[in-house]
Amino acid sequence: MVLFMKSKIYLLALLFSVLAMPLYAFESLTWQQCVSETRVAHPDLLSALALLQQAEADKQITGGARLPLLSIGLNSLKRGTSGAGSSSLFSSSLSAQQLLYDGHKTSRQIASNEEAIKATRYNYSVVSANLRFALRSAFTALLNAQELVGLTVEIAERRQKNVRLITLRYQGGRENIGSLRQAEADLAQADFEVLQAKRGLVLAQTTLASALGRDIHQPIKVQGVFKASDVSTVKPDLPLLVNNNPLLQQLKARSKAASYDLEASRSAFSPQLYLNSSIGRTSSDRWQFDAVDWSAGVTLSVPLYEGGSGGARVAKAKAVVAQQSAERKSVSLQLFDALEQSWKSFQDVRQAVVVRKKFLDAAVERATIATAQYSNGLISFNDWVMIEDNLVSAKKGFLNAGADMLIAEAQWIQSKGGGLDDQEK
């Protein structure tokens, strides 16, 4: 009886520590709030955006070759000979140079830059899809951890009631000491799982804070239910989903950019034609310029020999094109397999939730009946304990199945390329 009272006091203290935590200390977030925060503040997205800005700047740099090059010059020269005086010469000039023809090298480089911009935009979508999966996984883990704390407390309460029932039967001579010790061990296990669930809750809060891109971690509480938003059971067109996946589109853009780079490298052997002009004044007096000098003409430059570097650049560009083509095909196959696997897993888990619910309903009914039968001495302790353990397993199994369903749905959405900006997903 003393042991029973100690266990009861310990359980009450444990329940108080779990349930009486100040709710105001927890920040409560919905899924949409998590998505909005991650979209704005996560460093991976900021990095992907910076890559896009770099690609756009590269295009502007390359396009500058099409515009006139203007320069202004001011010169002051003093010269003389031994035994004679010295003289000063001052000049100012404005020069301009305009590219007329370079074998379409610049235009192909610009086309390559445009494809690179497309690739970085698709890269942003890929990063967004990966972050969405990580965020959804962390959100689900915290939701599961919250529910698990409540479930373990519920199980501990039930184990405590069982200890009380068996203690009364043992004191009345209707149960043996082995059964009482087994019930006490089950209670100890339940108390341990409560503490374990609380530690898991803290870990899940930390993981979600990191998935949100936060530097400071604080207690977080999420609002949600274990219900899939994608209710379709008709298998979609997987080849179409593969073709529209941002990762494959990114590789296609890179492949096109590599093709333009190959054409540009071949154009390096073409002659280059420039229009040159300048206007200026020269005088021996710093402030008086009497004559105006001007010039205009064209410059033709024909590369003859570069030590083999031009041919090496072409060979490298060809290799890049071949590498991009092979990588695109490989990723296409991987994406198709990932879609097939994630679709199967999502459908399997959705049906598993329905099955687990039936097991849970059956376990609840059996446990209710078995407890009444054991109290009246109609079934043995061993049979009753098996039914009680089955109830505990059924409750945990149903909770885990719900979490697994959300993770499987998140994996399916990631396989399709769905990111943080896809609100409907």
The amino acid at residue 84 is: A
pLDDT 10s digits, 107-137: 888 999 999 999 999 999 999 999 999 999 9
Q: Strands across the sheet with 69-80, in order?
A: 69-80, 86-101, 272-283, 291-301
The pLDDT of residue 83 is 57
Length of the chain: 425
Token pair, residue 78, equals 């003093």
The mean predicted confidence, pLDDT, of the chain is 86
* Residue environment code for 24-62, b if the CB has 16+ CB neighbours within 10 A, otherwise e: eeeeebebeebbebbbeebeebeebeebbeebbebbeeb
pLDDT of residue 3 exceeding 80, the answer is no
Token pair, residue 307, equals 């030590």
pLDDT, greater one: 269 or 20 = 269
Token pair, residue 300, equals 């033709």
User: Which domains are delineated in the chain?
Assistant: 2-41+102-268+303-416 (1.20.1600.10), 63-101+270-302 (2.20.200.10)
Spatial distance between the Cα atoms of 385 and 389, rounded to a whole number of angstroms: 6
Number of Cβ within a 10 Å radius of residue 110: 18
pTM, 2 dp? 0.82
Number of Cβ within a 10 Å radius of residue 18: 18
Q: What percent of the chain has pLDDT over 70?
A: 89
Phi/psi of residue 299, nearest 5 degrees: -125, 125
Tell me the CA distances in angstroms from 423 to 35, 145, 241, 243, 391, one per residue in order.
9, 25, 18, 21, 38
Phi/psi of residue 97, nearest 5 degrees: -140, 130
In 3-state terms, what secondary structure has residue 292? strand
The pLDDT of residue 100 is 80
Spatial distance between the Cα atoms of 123 and 121, rounded to a whole number of angstroms: 5
